């Protein structure tokens, strides 16, 4: 599971130039109880897609590709909040990137989990 604590806006969780949309209720809950303008979001590798550069995905530099037969796990890192964070995505083997490529990762709509950044409580 890719679990990261990121800045929170009125639209949702901010991963570099990608925004993971959250409901008004989730945003309000994340802001309360000393949330410090952040939210923790998790999404599974199989609940993401590799998208085109113009489709608003998170740029991830590929470090390793694990060929699993019909699928492949793609391991890499993305620049987030002044640092480098690791991400894992599962993709169809026919669309496997190469090591060193930059891919754009986007979680599928409503396939992510959100938590309060301080208390860890599910939103």
Q: Is the pLDDT of residue 95 over 90?
A: no
Query: In whole numbers, what is the pLDDT of the chain averaged over residues?
Result: 93
Q: How would you label 86-122 residue by residue, b for 16+ Cβ within 10 Å and e otherwise? A: ebbbbbeeeebbeeeeebbbbbeeeebebbbbeeeee
Q: Is residue 122 part of a domain?
A: no
Q: Is residue 93 part of a domain?
A: yes
CATH number for position 63: 2.40.50.140
Q: Is residue 123 part of a domain?
A: no
Q: Is residue 95 part of a domain?
A: yes
Question: Which domain covers residue 94, as residue numbers?
Answer: 2-116
Q: Judge whether 94 and 30 are in contact, CB under 8 Å.
A: no
pLDDT of 112:
94
Q: Is residue 32 part of a domain?
A: yes
Q: Is the pLDDT of residue 107 over 90?
A: yes
Q: Is the pLDDT of residue 17 over 90?
A: no
pLDDT in tens, 32-84: 888 889 999 999 999 999 999 889 899 999 999 999 999 999 999 999 888 89
Q: Is the pLDDT of residue 104 over 90?
A: yes
Q: Is the pLDDT of residue 30 over 90?
A: yes
Q: What is the pTM (predicted TM-score) of this model? A: 0.90
Q: Is residue 121 part of a domain?
A: no
Counting the structural domains of the chain, the total is 1
């Amino acid at each position: 599971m890719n679990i990261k604590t990121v800045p929170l806006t009125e639209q949702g969780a901010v991963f570099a130039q990608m925004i993971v949309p959250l409901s008004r209720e989730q945003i309000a809950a994340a802001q309360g109880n000393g949330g410090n303008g952040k939210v923790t979001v998790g999404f599974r590798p199989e609940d993401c897609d590799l998208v085109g550069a113009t489709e608003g995905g998170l740029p991830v530099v590929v470090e390793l590709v694990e060929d699993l037969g019909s699928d492949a796990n793609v391991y890499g890192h993305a620049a987030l909040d002044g640092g480098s964070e690791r991400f894992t995505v599962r993709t169809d083997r026919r669309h496997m990137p190469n090591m060193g490529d930059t891919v754009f990762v986007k979680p599928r709509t409503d396939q992510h989990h959100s938590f309060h950044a301080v208390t860890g409580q599910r939103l």
